[in-house]
Structure 1
Amino acid sequence: QPSTLISTQSLPSSNVGISTSIIKSSSTNKSNEKRSTNAISALRRRFVGGGSSSHRRDRSIPEDDHSQIEQQPIETISADDILARYSSKGSTNIDNGSKLNTTADESHPETIPVETFTDTLPYYDPTNLDTCRAFIDAKKKLRIVLASVDTDSINYLNSPINFSQYLPSQQQQNSSSNRKSSNNLILFLRSQLYEAIAIQDRDLQAQVYETLRCVQQFNENECKELIRSMIDDYRSRSVYIAYLVKNNENLLNITYHQDRLLVRIQRDQDLCKLNLINYLVKLFLDCKEHLLQKLIDKFSHLSSAEEKMHLIELFLQDCCREITSDINWKTASPEQFAMSQTSIERMVMAKIYTAALYPNGQIDVQRDQVFSSHIRTLAEQLDPNHQKLRIQKICQRECPWPSAQAELRLINAYKTPRDKVGCVQRCIRIIQNLIRLASNSAAGADDTIPILIYVIVKANPPNLLSIMQYVQDLYSSRFTDEESYFWTMFVSGVKFINEMI
């Protein structure tokens, strides 16, 4: 590296010149020599200005600094060291890095290093509490902790209870002598620290402990001032908080709308799956048309309900077993196989529906017609205040429960016993939801059955007695607990109507 020596012992007053001598190193490093020359030229332009201003500038350099420069060996002083010494931030001693004050030139103003005001202030200053760093740090840490702790415990801050009265007498004396540790804010932070320790939340534990350490240096009045300052900050941010709340509401609305769209898409996807499975099941059953015809013939000649149900179950089990080896179902998932079983049951029961619903032929048809005519007559006389129904006044606001009636009228559109029971379930659930909407309480059987009787009479679905017998013969052994509960309520309502007639 090239070395440079600047001599500043004698400076002329009229035109100050800085004599420089560059000691060249080896001839193989010409680029370093050029860089050193450029550095010295920059120093010359900086310190050799014109006339008296250069004299004043040079005079601002302390004398001991010149001596230190002269005492340094030639090999240890480089151009980079000189540039660092006379930089805009102030000259620096090469050995110990001590700061030197420089005087700014009037024609060439320079930046004078000034210590920041906050470094000279004490960390805790009771006379200037709002501006001291301890107050600002405690407020910042307390704001972070309050955002992550149990908010139900914040009642400690406004509690009028004097907690020190529950301490032993020795602790009460210690508490009275040290008021900084007896205010409710510190008690609240301690309770949150114990809670964090109990749940083993290390991060929260560290935050609360540090906040507690900062707050403990304030007395009770200063803690109140700390809380008051935080409230003022919150009020000053009220406009921005309202803006954030509004944006949060918009995001929630958009999220809800997206969830609804996803439900619709999922419903469309399920319908596409169902239609595809129904089509494949139809192709599968078309190959077994002769077996279906034999099933219908055997079912018509059977008289016992147990034999009919056993015959249908055997046929459905054979179909479900054989469909797994069909070429169209080689890559089907378990969910698709479960859907195929339901589809097979619906298509098979649709073939034998008439024979299963009216096992006695015209006798069952005429019985249903007579029963339906009696219900029609009863519907003209029945109202919610009927003495045999005793429907509560609070539940009569939704009368005549048209949505439940519409659901019950669809019972004849379903062919399988399972689907008919599902229709009854949905009807009763609609009634219970309307009761809950009116009374803000759960609907029991005593509240549901009178309304269900009224709905059955007003809806008057055809073939009601045959449907009950149809479900009882072919599906009673496969009832789930929920299906059994709802179906029992429905059968009880129909029997009660029969008694009223």
Structure 2
Amino acid sequence: MTAGRKIFKHCKAFTESLVGKRYMGADEMSERVQDFYQHLSEHLETQFNCSSDHAQDVMDDVEKYVMTRLYRSVFCSETSDDEKKDLAIKKRIKDLHWVTTEMLCSPLDEEILEVSDHVFKAIIDLTEMELKQVPKNKLQCMTSCSKHVFNAIKAKTKKTVSADDFLPTLIYIVLKTNPPRLISNIQYIIRFGNSRKSMSGEDDYYFTTLCCVVTFIENLDAQSLNLTSEQFELYMSDHAPSHWPKTNGASSSSGSAALSEVHTRLIQLQELEERQACVMENASLMKSDLIDWTDELEMQDLFSTTVIGSASQSAIDSDIIEKELLPQPLQP
């Protein structure tokens, strides 16, 4: 048996032993998966004499196979409080919709087309993280998002981007996006990513920064935005006076061709969904009418057959028919 076949059988047996075990705690499941990664990685280097790079390439495929099979069982597990935290951070971000780049001291200027284009791409990457099933692919979405953030800042400042510019800008992007199941995605990467590969280099830096952003948002207060407590509470309650600086989201969206196009497409998509729902409703009515019509035809055929049969029988027994036209009865 080839080495690849042996590894595949080993991975298949491991996933089959865990598929559907929703009762197992998230931490226990994570420990088993990480142990499997560790043992298989050592096995590749000792038993199959794989180079470090080759072994890591194999482990990338192993992670993809294992986590695609286990995704439904382990992502946002019922045994964890991930869903509760997802709802809490989503509400928190929604309540902070008024936060501007100026409040965060971010150098972004979305009136610049190149800047708004990178902002739009960063939002897309952050949103697409939810669609990926493999931890490595989720991490790549975060890395791609962060690179677009860097490019957005460079398009405005025309100089090297510092951490003091990057962090507040990433905070703004997360607030602007309000990505779905943010905590679940972060925990999924931590628990089930092949840590020897995924948590290294720039991926590690960007992911760690994202975790810091979430912590900042959870603990954000008036002092974080250089506001008084009164101002902060009024903003949070949507009762801030009109003369106070407001969010620049509306103006930048109107001035940004990319975001305007997205807004237009979202409206078109909503219209298409409404039309599709109408078409489906009409199709359902047509189907119902067709069934009723078919049943009516069947009833008419049955009724016609009954009437014809009854008429024939009564004609034979009728006195109207001349008896001399009838044949002579048979004699025994």
**Structure 1 length as normaliser, TM-score?**
0.36
Hey, what does 1:392 align to over in structure 2?
107
Asked whether 1:295 is paired with 2:18, we answer: yes
Shift of 1:295: 3.1
> Relative to 1, partners in 2 of residues 1:372 and 1:281: Cα closer, same or farther, differing over 3 Å?
farther
Asked whether 1:470 is paired with 2:188, we answer: yes
* Partner residue of 1:491 out of 211, 234, 241: 211
For 1:365 and 1:393, locate their aligned partners in 2 and report how far apart those are by CA, in whole Å: 32
Q: Which runs of 5+ in 1 are unaligned?
A: 1-279
The amino acid that maps onto 2:24 is: H
Hey, what does 2:67 align to over in structure 1?
349
Hey, what does 2:32 align to over in structure 1?
311
Asked whether 1:450 is paired with 2:168, we answer: yes
Shift of 1:308: 3.7
SS in 1 for 2:101: coil
Hey, what does 1:246 align to over in structure 2?
none
> Relative to 1, partners in 2 of residues 1:393 and 1:285: Cα closer, same or farther, differing over 3 Å?
closer
Query: 1:374-401 CA deviation, whole Å, 9 max, x = no partner?
Result: 423433x23333x2x1223668632471
SS in 2 for 1:352: helix
For 2:178 and 2:91, locate their aligned partners in 1 and report how far apart those are by CA, in whole Å: 9
**Structure 2 length as normaliser, TM-score?**
0.52
For 1:87-98, list aligned pairs within 5 A: none
Is the contact made by 1:395 and 1:438 (CA closer than 8 Å) also made in structure 2? Answer: no
The amino acid that maps onto 2:99 is: L
Q: Which runs of 5+ in 2 are unaligned?
A: 221-235, 237-332
For 1:67-466, list aligned pairs within 5 A: 285=8, 289-296=12-19, 300-302=23-25, 305=27, 307-316=28-37, 338-361=56-79, 363-379=81-97, 381-385=98-102, 387=103, 389-392=104-107, 397=112, 398-399=115-116, 401-466=119-184
For 1:344 and 1:352, locate their aligned partners in 2 and report how far apart those are by CA, in whole Å: 12
How many residue pairs were aligned?
214
> Relative to 1, partners in 2 of residues 1:391 and 1:321: Cα closer, same or farther, differing over 3 Å?
closer
The answer to which structure, 1 or 2, has the higher relative contact order (CA under 8 A, 6+ apart) is 2
Query: 1:272-306 CA deviation, whole Å, 9 max, x = no partner?
Result: xxxxxxxx979964786444221346785246x3x
Is the contact made by 2:37 and 2:194 (CA closer than 8 Å) also made in structure 1? Answer: no
> Relative to 1, partners in 2 of residues 1:418 and 1:314: Cα closer, same or farther, differing over 3 Å?
same
- Deviation larger for 337-346 or 436-445: 337-346
> Relative to 1, partners in 2 of residues 1:321 and 1:360: Cα closer, same or farther, differing over 3 Å?
same
Percent of aligned positions that are identical: 22
SS in 1 for 2:204: helix
For 1:456 and 1:434, locate their aligned partners in 2 and report how far apart those are by CA, in whole Å: 14
Is the contact made by 2:63 and 2:194 (CA closer than 8 Å) also made in structure 1? Answer: no
Normalized per residue, the structure richer in helix is 2
Query: 1:131-152 CA deviation, whole Å, 9 max, x = no partner?
Result: xxxxxxxxxxxxxxxxxxxxxx
SS in 1 for 2:77: coil
The amino acid that maps onto 2:33 is: I
Shift of 1:416: 3.1
Larger-gyration structure (1/2):
1
The amino acid that maps onto 2:15 is: L
Shift of 1:409: 1.0
SS in 2 for 1:359: coil
Query: 1:313-368 CA deviation, whole Å, 9 max, x = no partner?
Result: 333356568889xxxx9xx9986664332111111012222443323448532442
Shift of 1:454: 1.5
> Relative to 1, partners in 2 of residues 1:282 and 1:491: Cα closer, same or farther, differing over 3 Å?
farther
Query: 1:405-426 CA deviation, whole Å, 9 max, x = no partner?
Result: 1111111122333332222122
SS in 1 for 2:61: helix
Is the contact made by 2:127 and 2:177 (CA closer than 8 Å) also made in structure 1? Answer: yes
For 1:298 and 1:345, locate their aligned partners in 2 and report how far apart those are by CA, in whole Å: 19
SS in 2 for 1:301: coil
Is the contact made by 2:23 and 2:79 (CA closer than 8 Å) also made in structure 1? Answer: no
For 2:208 and 2:134, locate their aligned partners in 1 and report how far apart those are by CA, in whole Å: 18
Hey, what does 2:300 align to over in structure 1?
none
